[in-house]
A and B are shown apart, each in its own frame.
Chain A
Amino acid sequence: MTFAIEASGLHKSFRDVHAVRGLDLHVGRGEVFGLLGPNGAGKTTSLEMLEGLIRPDAGEIRILGMDWRRQGATIRTRIGVQFQITELDDKVRVREALEMFGSFYPKARSPAELLGLLHLEDKADAYQRRLSGGQRQRLALGLALVNDPDLVFLDEPTTGLDPQARQGLWDLVRQLKQEGRTVLLTTHYMEEAEVLCDRIGIMDRGQILTLGTPRELIAGLHQPSFAEIEFLGSAPDIRPFADRLGMAVEARDQSWSVPLTDAKKDLQAVLSCIEGLNLPMQQLHVRRASLEDVFLQLTGRSLRD
């Protein structure tokens, strides 16, 4: 397997902040890889090192088999980059922005083609300032695709977007994969990583804690599923239930959540306790663990903290 990104032992400090501490990352060609982690985990710094914007203090990077120090100009013609926030001139029109970025490259896709891909045909002559958040992100993605890149970097592409706009961007990312491009994206939305990525690296405090397909990561949990017991109105006192069950139970306002190690056996125990205590339960369902739970187990913290 040839790699689009090979990075080993990357370190980067800013004054007293050690932002990235020994990052190792191999992303295969055609793969969609997600770097997942809370704000401040070092995702953006990692990305900027791989994009050739900042030089690592230590470590080696090869992009599409090339070295930034010697083949930077060639690498730039073959990658596309989207930032969290792309500040273009307010008064630049959508078509003009696409034309302008296209002019930087030896070969560029036509604005008309990109406008069609991004579903921005009717905004072609609008100032970028007048675009909605989702339209602006799509334009930023279009600018990243203007040179028909082999490798695309997307830094939190859907942060701050409404669900519909997010869905639209997801479709575009899926299309990139179908076209055989490699995508490296960062996100702090677990759902986004699960839906889009072939593989995920969970990052915290400047390091990758664990790495794998979403399924592998979840399967690797001790308790890959949860029983959720919901009540009509507020939940009753949890102690009798917890004592009788003899397992960890998490109480919320109107529900209890029981992590299941052995789904079949544990679920039977839960049901018999409910029966025995004659609890006023409204419904019970079993939830598959998510990447959120993976993160919680790895770091002891919730992702949104």
Chain B
Amino acid sequence: MHTRIFFNQLKMGLILYTRVPAAMFWIIAFPVVMLLAMGTVFGGGNDSASKLVWERAGPQTAADTLLLSVLTAGGTVVEIASPSDAEARWKGGKLPIMLVGEGGRYTLRINSYLAGQAMQAKAVVQQGFLVAQARAQGSADPTLIPIVMSSPGGHQEGPYAAFLLPGLLGLNVLMIGVFSTGIVDVTLRAKGGYKRLATTPLPRHIYLGAQVCVRLIVVLVAAALLMLVGAIVFGIHNQGSYVSLAVVQLLGAACFICMGYVLASFAETPDVYSGIANLTFLPLMLLSGVYFSLDSAPDWLQRGADLLPLTPLLRALRAIFNDGAVLGSQWSAVAIVATWTVVLFALATRRFKWV
């Protein structure tokens, strides 16, 4: 009897979910849009580093020729531009770095807004200059420190999209908990939907269990779609086990769904709730490194963020997805998320009210 009610509720829950375009957009389409947009803008990592705009005023000198040949041989595509043309492009704000040659002297201009993207080109130009100088003096090429691009775990040499994708997986479970779960809960309680159910014999745990399972299924579908797009558009693939990835993703979803119920228990109307939800969502998203690594943030902030549930969740997701880590190696991150989940679950069950 209860099993039948449960599957009935699960089926109905999934059908109703697919009928709400807003929910479908934010949970299923939004991560894909973000991956495509941000992955493309910030993205072709290696590509943007291998292009260099070179502003040159006078005719090409011998030194210029030498430097150019060294850079080109190293795989950099160099574009020579006149001062006025180069200035216009610099003003456009999209160039991370530009080489300026003036009367035998070179200057590297780095766009302070895009310093991160300029780093690789900067290293390439400086090394190329040393090589060109040595050759001009007839000495042997200097020994250069080799540069290797890789992710922190040392496996995937992916573009920015590879960093972003596991971040979006984490963002997705945060959103399904804080928004999709919490808002529905507050609305149903405020408008008497729960009250109506409370007059029927429908067991509370069956109803809530089905609601949670609907969201877990949606999370898995969204994750699968996101990874499919990542593979097709950016050629990035899960380096680890899909089972480990699913375990961590579902644990994260459970954690944030419980958080949604807890937060919702503090709000009487959907309006109040949206304030609470945003106050929770924004810091979690910004502090946990969904889009960018927090390496340059103050130490205390980083250590604080490490204790929030999203930061370790993202660390584990990235380790598995990008570096093929086994689940066991991520035990500390998993333990933090699991602790949060247990605490939030206990709070949610204590505070949940039908009426």
Give me the interface of A with B, judged by CB distance under 8 Å.
48, 51-54, 73, 76-77, 79, 81, 83, 85-89, 91-92, 96, 100-101, 103-106, 143, 147
Interface residues of B in 163-199 (CB under 8 A from A): 187-188, 191-193, 195-196, 198-199
Which one, B15, B16, B200, contacts A104 given CB within 8 A? B200
| Chain B residues with CB below 8 A from A52, complex form | 199
Find the A residue at minimum CB distance from B200.
A104
Which one, B1, B5, B12, B196, contacts A83 given CB within 8 A? B196
| Chain B residues with CB below 8 A from A76, complex form | 199-201
A83 touching B195 by the CB < 8 A rule? Answer: yes
B198 touching A53 by the CB < 8 A rule? Answer: yes
Can you list 12 A-B pairs, Cβ within 8 angstroms, ordered by A? A76-B200, A76-B201, A83-B192, A86-B192, A86-B196, A87-B187, A88-B196, A89-B193, A91-B20, A92-B12, A104-B5, A105-B200
B355 lies within 8 A of chain A by Cβ: yes
B8 lies within 8 A of chain A by Cβ: yes
| Chain B residues with CB below 8 A from A88, complex form | 193, 196
Give me the interface of B with A, judged by CB distance under 8 Å.
1, 4-5, 8-9, 12, 15-16, 19-20, 187-188, 191-193, 195-196, 198-202, 354-355
| Chain A residues with CB below 8 A from B198, complex form | 53
Find the A residue at minimum CB distance from B15.
A96
B188 touching A106 by the CB < 8 A rule? Answer: no
- Bound state CA distance, A76 and B204, in angstroms? 13
- Bound state CA distance, A88 and B16, in angstroms? 11
Find the A residue at minimum CB distance from B191.
A87
Find the B residue at minimum CB distance from A84.
B192
- Bound state CA distance, A118 and B5, in angstroms? 25
B200 touching A101 by the CB < 8 A rule? Answer: yes
* Min CB–CB distance A288 → chain B (angstroms): 38
| Chain B residues with CB below 8 A from A106, complex form | 1
B200 touching A53 by the CB < 8 A rule? Answer: no
| Chain B residues with CB below 8 A from A81, complex form | 196, 199
- Bound state CA distance, A86 and B354, in angstroms? 15
Q: Knowing that A87-B196, A103-B4 touch, tell me 6 more A-B residue pairs with CB under 8 angstroms.
A: A76-B200, A92-B12, A92-B16, A104-B200, A105-B200, A143-B196
| Chain A residues with CB below 8 A from B355, complex form | 48, 53-54
Find the B residue at minimum CB distance from A153.
B199
* Min CB–CB distance A51 → chain B (angstroms): 6
A105 touching B196 by the CB < 8 A rule? Answer: no
| Chain A residues with CB below 8 A from B201, complex form | 73, 76-77, 104-105
A85 touching B191 by the CB < 8 A rule? Answer: yes
| Chain A residues with CB below 8 A from B193, complex form | 87-89
- Bound state CA distance, A107 and B174, in angstroms? 40
- Bound state CA distance, A91 and B5, in angstroms? 20
Find the A residue at minimum CB distance from B195.
A53
- Bound state CA distance, A96 and B12, in angstroms? 8
- Bound state CA distance, A207 and B32, in angstroms? 60
- Bound state CA distance, A86 and B9, in angstroms? 19
